[in-house]
Amino acid sequence: MMTMTVKSNDAPANRLKIGFVLARSFTLSAFALFIDTLRLASDELDKSGRIRADWQVLGNMRHLITSSCGVQVAPTSDLVDPSPFSYIVVVGGLLNREHPIDDETVRFLKTAAARKVPLIGLCTGTFILAEAGLMAGHNVCVSWLHYQAFRERFPELKVRSDRLFNLDRTRGSCAGGSSAADMAAHIVRLHISKEAERNALEVLQIDKARSHLHVQPRKPLAIESNDPRLNAALIIMEQHTENTLSIPELAASVGLSRRQLERLFMDKAKMSPALVYRKFRMERAKHLLTQTDASLIEIALEVGFESAGHFSRIFAKTYGQTPSRLRAQTSL
C-alpha cells in the first residue's frame, strides 16, 4: 500500500527540502540519480536553480565522505534542526562496512523521527534505519540482492524485494540503483508538480518514471516474461526457499487466485508454479551442497524439507544423482 504522511513545510515559498545523510562507502549512483532528479525539477531546463526545492548533504563534521567507488562528497551542512526538512534521505552502501554512520548521526535521525520528519532509506540506507530501530511497524522494500541479509538481521520486520520502492506513512525505502530516480520523481510529482517531474525526466533521458508497483528487474531461473505478476511471483519464490509459501499464499501476494496463477505460469513459463518453486529450492540446495559444508539435514531444512530422506529423493529426481554423490564429485 502506497501511503506517506507528509510533514508540512513552512519554509519560504514552501519549497521541497531534502537532507541527505551519506553512509561510509555509500552508493554514488543512487545518490546522484535522486539528487539530480530533484535538482532538475527545481528549475526550468538545466539551470540548477533552487527555486522549487532545496537540498543539503548533512554531517557532524565537514570531512569528505567516500563512496563505494572511491568518489568523495563533502557535507554542505551541519546536523542542524531536522524540523524544516520535508524528508531526510539516508544513502547506504556496502553492507560489510562497520558503523556506516556515527553515533551523533544516529541520534540526529532519532530526533528527526521524534519530530515526525519522514525518513527514507535509499539502497542499503534502510539497514541503517532498521538498525537504529526506526523501521519498526513499517513495511520495507530492499533490493533482491540484499533480501536475505535483511531478513537475517531484522527478522521481526516485514520486507519484500519485488518492488522498486515503498512509502509507508513516515518511512520510505528504495531498492537503489535506477529506482532512486523513480522514487525521487514520485516525490517531485507529489510536492511540486507533474510538469517539474517531466522536466527532470526529459533532461535525464528517462521516458517515464516507474511507479511503486513496478517489479524489480530480475530474471530468476532465466524465465523470460513481461508480465509483472509472474515476475513478482518468481522473485518471491526465490526469496522464500526456506519458509516456503503455499501456492494460494503466493497467488494472493501478487493479487491473483490460485487458479489464475497456475494458468499464468502454464502460459508464460510452460510449468506449474509448484514445479518452478521446486526448481528454486533445488537450485538453492545445489549451491549449499557445493559451496558449504552444511550437513544434508541442515540443507534439507534450509530449502523447506522436514527430512533428509525426502530431500534426497527429490534432489535425485531433479538432477539424476543424490546430494551425497554430487558433493563427493565436487570435492574431488
Rounded average pLDDT over 49-76? 94
113-122, 183-192, 201-210, 236-245: least confident range: 236-245
Q: Name residues whose C-beta falls within 8 Å of residue 14's C-beta, 6 or more positions apart in sequence.
A: none
Comparison of pLDDT for 4 and 72, the residue scoring more: 72
**25-34, 58-67, 147-156, range with greatest mean pLDDT:** 25-34
Rounded average pLDDT over 10-24? 81
For the segment 229-274, what is each residue's pLDDT rounded down to a tens digit?
998 899 889 888 888 899 999 999 999 999 999 999 999 889 999 9
For the segment 216-230, what is each residue's pLDDT rounded down to a tens digit?
877 677 787 888 899
pLDDT, residue 38, reads: 96
The structural domains of the chain, with segments of one domain joined by +, span 3-203, 218-332
- Please provide the distance, in angstroms rounded to a whole number, between the alpha carbons at the two ends of the chain: 51
Q: What are phi and psi of 197, to 5 degrees?
A: -60, -45
What's domain 218-332's superfamily in CATH? Homeodomain-like (1.10.10.60)
Q: What's the per-residue H, E or C state across 2-42?
A: CEECCCCCCCHHHCEEEEEEECCCECHHHHHHHHHHHHHHC
pLDDT, residue 190, reads: 94
> Percent of the chain having pLDDT more than 70?
95
Q: Does domain 3-203 have CATH number 1.10.10.10?
A: no
pLDDT, residue 10, reads: 40
Residue 330 — very low, low, confident or very high, per pLDDT cuts 50/70/90? confident
Q: In what order do the strands lie in the sheet with 171-174?
A: 3-4, 165-169, 171-174, 119-122, 87-91, 16-22, 53-58
pLDDT, residue 11, reads: 40
Q: Identify which of 113, 112, 111, 147 has the alpha carbon closest to the alpha carbon of residue 127.
A: 147
pLDDT, residue 242, reads: 82
For the segment 74-129, what is each residue's pLDDT rounded down to a tens digit?
999 999 999 999 999 999 999 988 899 999 999 999 999 999 999 999 999 999 99
Tell me the CB-side half-sphere exposure of residue 1, using CA atoms within 13 A: 8
For the segment 138-172, what is each residue's pLDDT rounded down to a tens digit?
999 999 889 889 988 999 999 988 889 999 889 99
Q: Identify which of 287, 319, 291 has the alpha carbon closest to the alpha carbon of residue 303.
A: 287
Average pLDDT value over all residues in the chain: 90
Whether pLDDT at 209 is above 70: yes
Whether pLDDT at 8 is above 70: no
Comparison of pLDDT for 332 and 326, the residue scoring more: 326
d(Cα 242, Cα 226) in Å, to the nearest integer?
A: 27
pTM above 0.85, yes or no: no
Burial group, residue 331, by CB count within 10 angstroms (0-12, 13-18, 19+): exposed
pLDDT, residue 2, reads: 60
pLDDT, residue 6, reads: 55
